[in-house]
Amino acid sequence: MPKTLPPLALALRFLREALGWRANELADAVGVSASLITDYEGGRKTLGRERLEEIVASMGVPGQSIDDALAFLEKVTAQSRSRLYPLQPTAASEELRRIERIVKAAASATEQVVRPLVVHLSLELRAALDRQEVKVTWERVRRKQPAERRKLIRRSSEYRSWALCEAACAESLKVAPDSADQAVEYAELAIEISRLAAVEDLFRQRLQGYAEAHLGNARRVHGNLREADAIFGRARFLWQAGALGDPGLLDEARMLSLEASLRIDQHRPAEALKLVDQALAVDRNGLAKHLLIKRGRALEQLGEYDGAIAALRQAVPLFDGLQEPRLLFSVRFNLLNNLCHLRRFEEAQALLPEVRTQAERLGQELDLVRTLWLEGWVAAGLGGRKEAVASLEQVSREFIRLQIPSDAALASLELAVLYLEEGRAAEVRALALALAWIFDAEGVHPGTLAALRLFCQAAKQETATVELARRLVDFLYRAQRDPELRFEG
């Protein structure tokens, strides 16, 4: 539990959850906003003893229960610090009796609800201690070479823990942006731990499904979408097969979120949206901001730009610019991109300086090129033709130099529209020649190649028109959202 939170804040949250109250329900009973209750619990608003007594009275709990809760929480904190785990039977019994007394203090409490709450809180306590204990063990495993890690897992029961499997999954996610190979290695290690874990058979299936989902994600990052799809199918089967043995330790929202990423990469946005909504409904570990980004991406693929903008604007304040600069840049960039799709260029222009500043701070070449691309798009939309041409010429050159086929084709065709509006047929012909390499590139959308071939032929014959170029640009954007789209020349 967070050591920095004030004791009374912890006591409020403990009592509310122990008695089965949701924050909004308690807020209604007290006559305040739900955000005030969460601010009290998060330590963002000062909570005094007298005010806490008023709040818990609304739940039918006497003031003495606050002292009981504080004593219990202090004991848990002390045990966590001293790492006394597993709990001694006498200590565990005493704590369970204390929890039971707190729950029974509620006027509405009945014997039918007391025992499940006691078991749930005991499980949460043990899970927290498991995760704390495994940190040292995981560091020992992580420092080993891959082959040595497996030997450790097979040699000693110390390494056959559900929490160690969870830690390996978390490491796979952590390294995935920088090394897909390492992400695969850690996910495969998690699967091996799950198979050997000293848990009940049904929970083992649940754990294996969780680990398999992380392997599927690693394969997705690697670009192996077909293999990732098969792995997620296996992960879902195992996860569902172990549902009856699930003690609620693993993050279901994470499972759903990982599969949603795959569906987005597969250009299956409707399925991704369904998964995102399911994940948001069960999220308890702060994944909402990441899920909102995925919602925005899925809606963008569907061409529902207004919905995408709404989701991204909801996500922006949830990110810490100092701790998560990369993600905050991504959210704002995507927001700007969607505004441009809707031709809301004045709104987009207001966001540009902030996005440009963030791109320069991050210092990634592609971020800077893509930001310049949006600057050119906004300039064209607001009538700044000279600035738009200069930006798109540079963007086209950079994508050609970096050999990124789809972006090179799209940016160049947007530039061609501006050239054709000014009657610059020679520049259009030169642009077509500079794109010839794309026909030999791998993995290019067939419709993109067909559209580009038509443009190049027309450019060489000087029969290309503004209307043709615009139609081709529109097709290329739609092809990004639909890999099955076919070009009709």
Regarding whether 290 and 184 lie in a shared domain, the answer is no
Cα dist. 354→315, 350, 382 in Å? 16, 8, 19
- Ranges assigned E (strand) in 119-258: none
In this structure, are residues 264 and 272 in contact, taking their beta carbons and an 8 Å threshold? yes
In a domain, residue 487? The reply is no
Which carries the bigger pLDDT value, residue 474 or residue 4? 474
Regarding whether 352 and 378 lie in a shared domain, the answer is yes
List, for residues 39-98, the tens digit of each pLDDT value. 898 888 899 999 999 998 888 777 777 887 787 667 655 544 443 333 333 444 455 455
- In the DSSP assignment, the letter for residue 87 is P
Regarding whether 359 and 314 lie in a shared domain, the answer is no
In a domain, residue 408? The reply is yes
* Structural domain span for residue 426: 321-481
CB 341: neighbour CB atoms within 10 A? Answer: 16
Regarding whether 463 and 338 lie in a shared domain, the answer is yes
DSSP-derived secondary structure for 21-48: --HHHHHHHHTS-HHHHHHHHTTSS---
Regarding whether 341 and 231 lie in a shared domain, the answer is no
Q: How far is CA 241 from the centre of its chain?
A: 25
Q: How far apart are CA 438 and CA 66, in angstroms?
A: 70
Amino acid identity at 433: L
Q: How far apart are CA 382 and CA 150, in angstroms?
A: 60
pLDDT above 80 (res 193): yes
Q: What pLDDT, on a 0 to 100 scale, did the predictor assign at position 17?
A: 76
Q: How far apart are CA 244 and CA 253, in angstroms?
A: 18
Regarding whether 404 and 477 lie in a shared domain, the answer is yes
Regarding whether 333 and 312 lie in a shared domain, the answer is no
List the one residue out of 450, 448, 445, 415 whose CA is nearest residue 430.
415
Binned at pLDDT 50, 70 and 90, residue 247 comes out as: confident
Q: What pLDDT, on a 0 to 100 scale, did the predictor assign at position 486?
A: 84
In a domain, residue 330? The reply is yes
- Mean pLDDT for all residues in the chain: 86
In a domain, residue 193? The reply is yes
- The residue whose two tokens read 């409707």 is 270
Amino acid identity at 41: E
Where do runs of H (alpha helix) occur along 157-304? 162-175, 180-196, 201-222, 225-241, 252-265, 269-282, 288-301
Regarding whether 310 and 161 lie in a shared domain, the answer is no
Q: Which of 74, 108, 135 is the last residue of a domain?
A: 135
In a domain, residue 375? The reply is yes
Domain with residue 57: its CATH number is: 1.10.260.40
pLDDT above 60 (res 121): no
Number of domains within the chain: 4
pLDDT above 70 (res 344): yes
Q: What pLDDT, on a 0 to 100 scale, did the predictor assign at position 123?
A: 60
Cα dist. 8→14, 42, 53, 424 in Å? 10, 10, 10, 72
In a domain, residue 256? The reply is yes
In a domain, residue 141? The reply is no
Regarding whether 279 and 392 lie in a shared domain, the answer is no
List the one residue out of 343, 389, 402, 392 whose CA is nearest residue 372.
392
Q: How far apart are CA 346 and CA 348, in angstroms?
A: 5
Domain with residue 294: its CATH number is: 1.25.40.10
pTM (2 d.p.): 0.70
Q: How far apart are CA 285 and CA 293, in angstroms?
A: 16
Beta-carbon contacts of 365 under 8 Å, excluding residues fewer than 6 positions away, are 402
CB 12: neighbour CB atoms within 10 A? Answer: 22
Regarding whether 259 and 231 lie in a shared domain, the answer is no
Amino acid identity at 184: V
List, for residues 272-281, the tens digit of each pLDDT value. 999 999 999 9
Q: Which of 192, 227, 247 is the last residue of a domain?
A: 247
Q: How far is CA 303 from the centre of its chain?
A: 21
List, for residues 412-445, the tens digit of each pLDDT value. 999 999 999 999 999 999 999 999 999 988 878 8
In a domain, residue 486? The reply is no
| Residue 189, burial from CB neighbour count under 10 angstroms (0-12, 13-18, 19+) | buried
Regarding whether 83 and 159 lie in a shared domain, the answer is no
List, for residues 365-395, the tens digit of each pLDDT value. 999 999 999 999 999 999 999 999 999 999 9
Regarding whether 293 and 186 lie in a shared domain, the answer is no
List the one residue out of 432, 449, 431 whose CA is nearest residue 440.
449
Q: What pLDDT, on a 0 to 100 scale, did the predictor assign at position 86?
A: 38
Q: Which of 222, 247, 272 is the last residue of a domain?
A: 247
